[in-house]
Chains A and B, each alone.
Chain A
Amino acid sequence: MTRLETTGGLIGRTVERVEDAGLLTGRGRYIDDLPVRRDTAHLAILRSPHGHAGISAINTHAARALPGVIAVMTGADVARLTRSMTVGVKANVECWPIARDRVRYVGEPVALVVAENRYVAEDALDLIEVDYETLAAVIDPEKALAADAPVLHPSLGTNLINERAFRYGDPEKAFAAAAHRVSIRIAYPRNSCTPIETYGVIAEYDPGEDAYDVTANFQGPFSIHAVISRALNVPGNRMRLRTPPDSGGSFGIKQGVFPYVILAAVAARVSARPVKWIEDRLEHLTASVSATNRVTTLEAAVTADGRITALSWDQLEDCGAHLRAPEPATLYRMHGNMTGAYAIENVAIRNRVVLTNKTPTGLNRGFGGPQIYFALERLVHKIGDELLLDPLDVIRRNLVPADAFPYRTATGGLLDSGDYRAALDRATTEGRLDALRRQRDAARAQGRLYGIGYAAVVEPSVSNMGYITTVLTPEERAKAGPKNGAQAVATVAIDPLGSVTVKVASVPQGQGHRTVLAQVVAERLGLAMDKVRVNTELDTERDAWSIASGNYASRFAPAVAGAAALAADRIRARLATIAARQLNVTPDRVDFRAGTLLDRDNPDNAVSFGRVAAASHWAPGTLPEGTDQTIRETVFWTPDELQAPTAADGINSSLCHGFIFDFCGVEIDRKTGQVRIDRYVTMHDCGRILHPGMVDGQVRGGFAQAVGAALYEEYAYGGDGSFLTGTLADYLIPTVMETPEPLILHYETPSPFTPLGAKGVGEGNCMSTPVCIANAVADALGVEDIRLPLSPSRVSEWLYGEERPPSKPLDQTPVATGASGERMLTGSGSAEVTATRESVWAMLLDPNTLKAIIPGAHEVRKVSDTHFRAEVTLGIGPVKGRYRADIRLSDMVEPETVTLSGGTEGALGSGRGTGRVTLTETTTGTRIDYRYEAAIGGKVASVGGRLLDGAARVVIGQFFQALARHAGGGAPPSAAAGFIQRLLHLFGRHR
């Protein structure tokens, strides 16, 4: 690679962004702002309230009949017009964007409504009735592997969709020879960098040409374009995909909009109108996409002085309910750098991918990095603890030495450049680690809980399109043909008046691409920045693009900006030739400065840029022999270093590798368990810095998200598959108050592999910061098994000893709520009535009595002697909903015991429960004993955290009460007005 020398002084400066004036005055053009055709209709999506259930029937009659509704579609309707989406591994499964006969996660699309506007579309959703047969759900990836676990995809026969083992060097020998073996087990949780703008799609279908035209705030990679076209059953040239000029953040997440591109496209086809869909926040949190959760066991072979000689990885990756493209990429993105920043020659890896009843996973800032580094850097700290070494010494001892670059890792990565030790030393000096250590000592001397954590991380960027094929065996790869490279595309064009336009296939989501490209191209052409205009909208029908196009894997600065520089340079060379003739000098003497082309040795001999540039338009005949036009130049650039996986599974998964070294000091409040980040230092080597302000902006933004991942954010599920964090009051994104300001330091070692020497920088802190904070907390508390997020309640479990018991026994046992966060309600109770057992028994089986005792029941129908259906309205305060209840009786021993099991379904959610009722004869009548267990799912569970917790808990209480009532149980002891009271009224006796 030839390094481009830059001189004009624009690159590397923090200039004001060209994007900002529009964005600051409300003139941004995000997807929901774009003008649409007047007949555009709006799509809303009915989603599964269950984590796992069969769909036995969907009744859409009432929804279709609603005025303003244009179309209603189910999975079967969509399937008729599409094909299953491509799955990235060899496995007998299909992957549909909408459920067909079974739902596998809460939020999975079940039906589509197209209507005049979103309000009416949602009205229609309420009218669709779906009959579900709930199935046992599996949430825990390890449990999903159990022989008796519920299987999500019967065709697959198991939840383990892929397994591969890898061996590099001689790990067995290294472990056998090791002085120490240190291992750690990690369960990394689910989270998401969730942007503030949600997904949006505008789709049209042209039946004459059988072609789709879709605008979506998709971010790439455009390899997904192939998945969409195939699913829609059209060739790529009949699937036009466009992106809006502005996007409200992505962080990988907006890659996951593609299943909705398919749904909206089909909806437009069926409706014969353009269809627009804007995802709402509940949909987004519940069902857009998530990072993977992963269970990792990592073991190291360590010499007596702390040198790591081998690593053994066992990774169990949870990709949710479907393996959606490009998964299992999260697991393989880091494959070339599984040894992190360390020189470790022997590596064993077992990778397993499992499916569970959770939202399918996809791109998320850091993509695979947080999961890897959490294990690796926790392990390095643990090695320090076990060998009584300072963890910083363990880090330093194992870093790839400066003279080893470019360094080939054991797993095939090629670390391009760096001086890790020098960067680390500078960080500890400039970041004043010694002062921090003194601070820790002083705090500890006062009995405070203070800890220091470190993390050293290699941040990969510019993904090799071939890395994902590492999931295939070498034989499978040979059959499929090699995949590799990372085509970046840029076009520089000059119009007849001599002004310059740059186009790239990159789709920025707030990273200021237009500014940086203007800087780069203006500098190459000796123009002022405002003479260059940049367009970053992408249109697959008109623009140059390739599968690697898009804005991900931090590829902009290293690859895309580089490609633009190359395109500008090609034009520059031609302009120089043209100008040389006009100036009567040789081309090598032509300089580009301040909008003129001039003779370096005689600056007065000059001609304006516009004049030279316009020649290709106005007078092509005047161009010197053999000189090509200067109207438009498109450069495709792919680095040679990105080759397909080798036969031995070696893979250089990324082109560039930045280096990050972080350390921090945290203090933990003994009483509240709150973790306060006292000081955070983050050192970055991201190669050449093109715009310092934006680089620091990327670092700060990633850091804030990582603080969220470390302390606040988790996509939480109940054991039954219910989703528990459906609002931004439950999924806790840090505000300014929770976000400390890190000290950002830089160490520049330009990449030898990229045109401008830049490396990616956007994702690093999402990889380094969670584990750095965790290490500090581990240091403060002296505990090992750290699980994120470190909520005060979780931290407090390490702080509080035995709980002080009440001075006298409580008169009621607290209601059991299952494991933390599970909306399981259990209880029992009893009541005495004067009636005989036989009459109570008869009553329990009589729909009329049931109607009288079920509050809010409009109707109770007897389907058979042991099966009832009811319509009920439940609610407290403003929260009200109508539900359908289904009750079955079993294990009947007349007139003694009966088990009632049932479910309720309604727009607000669903409940399931069983109750066992026992009737015992007493001297005065009958004693009714009941015991119940109920689980709540659907919307109330998802939004039931804090914002609406009151509301949701009431509804849950109502659900439960209704269930308990249906189940012949009764109200919990505290809710006096329940079933038992009514029973007592009916029997005319009061206690």
Chain B
Amino acid sequence: MKPASFDFLCPETTEEALAALAEGGGEARVIAGGQSLVPMLNMRLARPALLVDIMRLEALRRIETSGDEIVVGAGVRQAELEAWPTLLRDLPLLAAAFPCLGHVQTRARGTVCGSIAHADPSAELPLSLVTLGGAVSLRNRKQKRRVKADDFFVGMMATDLAEGEMIEAVHFPKARHGSGYAFREVGRRHGDFAIVACAAVADDRGLRLGIAGVDDRPRVFPLPALDDDQFDDTINDIAWSLNARDDIHASARYRRELVRSLGRETLKEASRCRA
């Protein structure tokens, strides 16, 4: 279990990083916290020709408030955002999600944007980003673009990121006064990837439920009020629509049941927080 060999670049500027990525094409990869990439290197599931370490780029190491968004740069570690003083006020959903995301020891290294880029279908941060209706800033040597979270995740570990591009930052909409947020998940053990994770928002636009761990990417759905006659049917149809699969940890049926029960509870909690 040792990585195959690769070239390594530790650029001093973002431009230098992007030039290397452009040149390397499909064989070049960004390494951020390494908490997902290095296991794959060790198992030789991944064999990039070049790794570009972006963790020394000061420009990417910032958490900023910009209008009604919190912008998290690609060099920001999960532990740094978790410890950000106004997290609970501005991003209560993330404050609730972080304790479920791996362990203290992996959050110390793993980055927020790395988790978004990795796009694991059970991951908490992609789910939170999609549920909040956030966006991703992408950049290559020539241009920058901004993609809505829902469009960014296209499948199992598959994103809209193109060759030569990197995530520069992600944008989380700031919590609005009078809105409620909740996050819940069921996993096998503490710190494991979720079997099903739910994120809920209750605001003046109604209820929204984000679901991870079932479909091949995080999905978000509007829902009628909990006491609405349509509620049960709607969440049931959502559960069925997610292409749940069996694996060694849980059956498809189990996942659908969790979508129904955990989904309801998470929405309930979000509504309660709103009140």
| Assembly CA distance A698 to B6 (angstroms) | 45
**Interchain CB contact under 8 A, A948 and B45:** yes
Instruction: Provide the residues of chain A in CB contact with B233, threshold 8 Å.
Output: 807
Q: Is A18 an interface residue (CB 8 A)?
A: no
Q: Does B156 contact A (CB under 8 A)?
A: yes
Out of A118, A732, A878, name the residue touching B2 (CB < 8 Å).
Answer: A118
Known: A803-B253, A949-B247. A943 touches B236 (CB 8 A): no
CB-defined contacts of A949 to chain B, threshold 8 Å: 120, 122, 193, 247
Q: How far is the CB of B17 from chain A (nearest CB, A)?
A: 17
Q: Do residues A815 and B188 form an inter-chain contact, with CB atoms below 8 A?
A: no
Evaluate contact between B257 and A876: CB separation under 8 angstroms: no
**Min CB gap B63→A, angstroms:** 26
> Shortest distance in angstroms between B212's beta carbon and chain A's nearest beta carbon?
11
State which of B4, B232, B245 has its C-beta within 8 Å of the C-beta of A814.
B245
Q: In the docked arrangement, what's the CA distance between A820 and B249, Å?
A: 9
Q: In the assembled complex, which residues on chain A have CB atoms less than 8 Å from the CB atom of B77?
A: none
State which of B36-44, B82-90, B136-144, B171-179 sits at the interface with chain A.
B36-44
- Is B254 at the interface (CB under 8 A from chain A)? yes
**A957 contacts chain B at the CB level, 8 A cutoff:** yes
- The answer to whether A729 touches B157 (Cβ under 8 A) is no
Complex contact B189–A732 (CB within 8 A): yes
Asked if A820 meets B248 with Cβ closer than 8 Å, knowing A282-B1, A948-B43, the reply is yes
Known: A792-B250, A957-B156. A908 touches B45 (CB 8 A): yes
For residue A584, give the distance in angstroms from its CB to the closest CB of chain B.
67
CA distance A957 to B191 in the complex (A): 27
Q: Does A804 interact with chain B (Cβ within 8 Å)?
A: yes
A879 with B157, Cβ < 8 A, contacts A712-B188, A729-B193 known: yes
Say how far B177's CB is from chain A's closest CB, in angstroms: 32
Bound CA span A729–B182, Å: 26
Name B116-130 residues within 8 Å CB distance of A.
Answer: 118-122
Quick check: A945 and B44 within 8 Å, CB to CB? no
Question: Are B251 and A122 closer than 8 Å at their CB atoms?
Answer: no
Q: A281 to B1, Cβ gap below 8 A?
A: yes
Known A792-B186, A877-B119: A940·B250 in contact at CB below 8 Å: no
Whether a CB of chain B sits under 8 angstroms from the CB of A437 is no
Q: How far is the CA of A946 from the CA of B122 in the complex (A)?
A: 9
Judge if A673 is at the interface, Cβ distance under 8 Å: yes
**A712 contacts B39, CB within 8 Å?**
no
Contacting residues of chain A (789-817) with chain B, CB-CB under 8 angstroms: 791-793, 796-797, 800, 803-808, 810, 814-815, 817
Contacting pair A879 B188 (CB below 8 A): no
Contacts of B118 in A (CB 8 A): 877, 950
Residue-wise, chain B 151-191 has the 8 Å CB interface mask toward A (1 for contact) of 00001111000000000000000000000000000101111
Does the CB pair B254–A806 fall under 8 Å? no
Contact with A along B223-258 (1 / 0, CB 8 A): 000000000110011001101111111111110111
**Nearest B-chain residue to A812, judged by Cβ:** B243
Question: What is the CA–CA distance of A761 and B248 in the complex, to the nearest angstrom?
Answer: 33
From A282, A724, A725, A737, contact of B43 by CB (8 A):
A282
Instruction: Report if A939 contacts B (CB, 8 A).
Output: yes
User: Please, how many angstroms separate the alpha-carbon atoms of A796 and B155 in the complex?
Assistant: 28
* Least distance between A720 CB and chain B CB atoms (Å): 14
A interface bracket (residues with beta carbon within 8 Å of B): 35 or more
The answer, yes or no, to whether A27 is at the interface (CB within 8 Å) is no
Whether A793 contacts B256 in the complex (CB less than 8 A), given A732-B189, A878-B48, comes out as no
Residue of B nearest to A671 (CB): B261
A282-B1, A881-B45 are contacts. A732–B192 as well, Cβ < 8 Å?
yes
A41 CB → nearest B CB, Å:
15
The chain A residue with its CB closest to the CB of B256 is A803
- Choose one: B4, B236, B250; the contact of A126 (CB below 8 Å): B4
Measured between beta carbons, the chain B residues less than 8 angstroms from A880 are 46-47
Assess the B261–A672 pair: CB atoms within 8 A.
Answer: yes
Q: If the complex has contacts A877-B118, A877-B157, are A119 and B2 also in contact, measured as CB distance less than 8 A?
A: yes
A123 sits at the interface (CB 8 A):
yes
Shortest beta-carbon distance from A283 to chain B in Å: 8
* Contact of A796 with B44 in the complex, beta carbons under 8 Å: no
Chain B residues with CB under 8 Å of A791's CB are 188, 249-250
Contact A738 B244, CB 8 Å, known A280-B1, A282-B1: no
CA distance A952 to B156 in the complex (A): 10
Contact A907 B246 (CB under 8 A): no
Q: Are the CB atoms of A806 and B237 closer together than 8 Å?
A: yes
Tell me which of B37, B157, B257 contacts A954 (CB under 8 A). B157
Judging by beta carbons under 8 Å apart, are B189 and A879 in contact?
A: no
Contact A878 B243 (CB under 8 A): no
Query: Would B247 and A878 count as touching, CB distance under 8 A?
Result: no
* Contact B44 A793, beta carbon cutoff 8 Å: no
Given the contacts A119-B2, A796-B254, A950-B157, A878 and B46 also touching, CB distance less than 8 Å: yes
Could you tell me the distance in whole angstroms from the C-beta of A756 to the nearest C-beta in chain B? 40
Residues in B whose Cβ lies below 8 Å from that of A204: none
Choose from B45, B189, B240, B249 the contact partner of A738 (Cβ within 8 Å).
Answer: B189
Residues of B within 8 A of A957 (CB): 156
Partner of B249, one of A793, A877, A974: A793
Is A947's CB within 8 Å of the partner chain B?
yes
Cross-interface CB contact of A672 among B39, B121, B237, B258, cutoff 8 Å? B258
Return B217 CB to nearest CB of chain A, in Å.
Answer: 10
CA distance A729 to B243 in the complex (A): 23
Contact A806 B236 (CB under 8 A): yes
**Complexed CA–CA distance, A411 and B254 (Å):** 45
* A248 contacts B by Cβ under 8 Å: no
Q: Is B254 touching A954 in the complex (CB atoms < 8 A)?
A: no
Closest CB of chain A to B34's CB: distance in Å? Answer: 11
CB distance from A487 to the nearest CB of B (A): 39
Known interface pairs A878-B46, A881-B45. Does A800 touch B253 (Cβ–Cβ under 8 Å)?
yes
What does the 1/0 interface line of A762-794 toward B look like (CB < 8 Å)?
A: 000000000000000000000000000001110
List the A side residues contacting B262 at CB < 8 Å: 671-672
Q: How far is the CA of A734 from the CA of B260 in the complex (A)?
A: 27
Determine which residue in A280, A818, A819 has the highest number of CB atoms from chain B within 10 A of its CB, and name it.
A280
B40 partner residues in chain A, CB cutoff 8 A: 878-879, 948, 951
Which A residues lie within 8 Å of B232 (CB)?
804
- The CB with the most chain B CB atoms within 10 A, among A122, A126, A674, is that of A122
Which residue from chain A places its CB closest to the CB of B2 in the assembled complex? A119
Which A residues lie within 8 Å of B192 (CB)?
A: 729, 732, 946
Q: Cβ of A118: which chain B residues have Cβ within 8 Å of it?
A: 2
Whether a CB of chain B sits under 8 angstroms from the CB of A829 is no
B29 adjacent to chain A (CB < 8 Å) = yes
The chain B residue sitting closest to A44, CB to CB, is: B2
A118 to B42, CA, bound (A): 12
Chain A residues, CB < 8 A from B254 = 673, 792-793, 796
Q: Say how far A718's CB is from chain B's closest CB, in angstroms.
A: 9
Residues of B with C-beta under 8 A to A674: 186
Q: How far is the CA of A732 from the CA of B195 in the complex (A)?
A: 14
Cβ of B252: which chain A residues have Cβ within 8 Å of it?
814, 817
Query: Please, how many angstroms separate the alpha-carbon atoms of A939 and B43 in the complex?
Result: 9
Q: Which residues of B contact A281 (CB under 8 A)?
A: 1
Q: Which of A806, A815, A951 contacts B245 (CB 8 A)?
A: A815
A225 within 8 A of B: no
| Contact present for A947 and B39 (CB under 8 Å) | yes
Report B235 CB to chain A, min CB distance, Å.
Answer: 10
Q: Which residues of chain B in 1-49 are interfacial with respect to chain A, using CB atoms and an 8 Å cutoff? A: 1-5, 29, 37, 39-40, 43-48
B257 pairs with A800, CB closer than 8 A: yes
Interchain CB contact under 8 A, B189 and A734 = yes
A28 within 8 A of B: no
Alpha-carbon distance between A474 and B246 when the two chains are bound, in angstroms: 49
Instruction: A674-B186, A877-B158 given; name 11 further pairs at CB < 8 Å.
Output: A126-B44, A729-B192, A793-B249, A814-B245, A814-B252, A820-B251, A821-B248, A879-B46, A907-B44, A947-B39, A953-B216
List, sorted by A's number, 8 A–B pairs whose CB atoms are closer than 8 Å.
Answer: A123-B4, A737-B191, A791-B250, A792-B188, A793-B249, A877-B118, A939-B43, A954-B158
Those 10 A-B pairs whose CB atoms lie nearest each other, nearest first: A737-B190, A878-B46, A280-B1, A806-B240, A793-B250, A793-B254, A877-B157, A821-B248, A950-B157, A671-B261
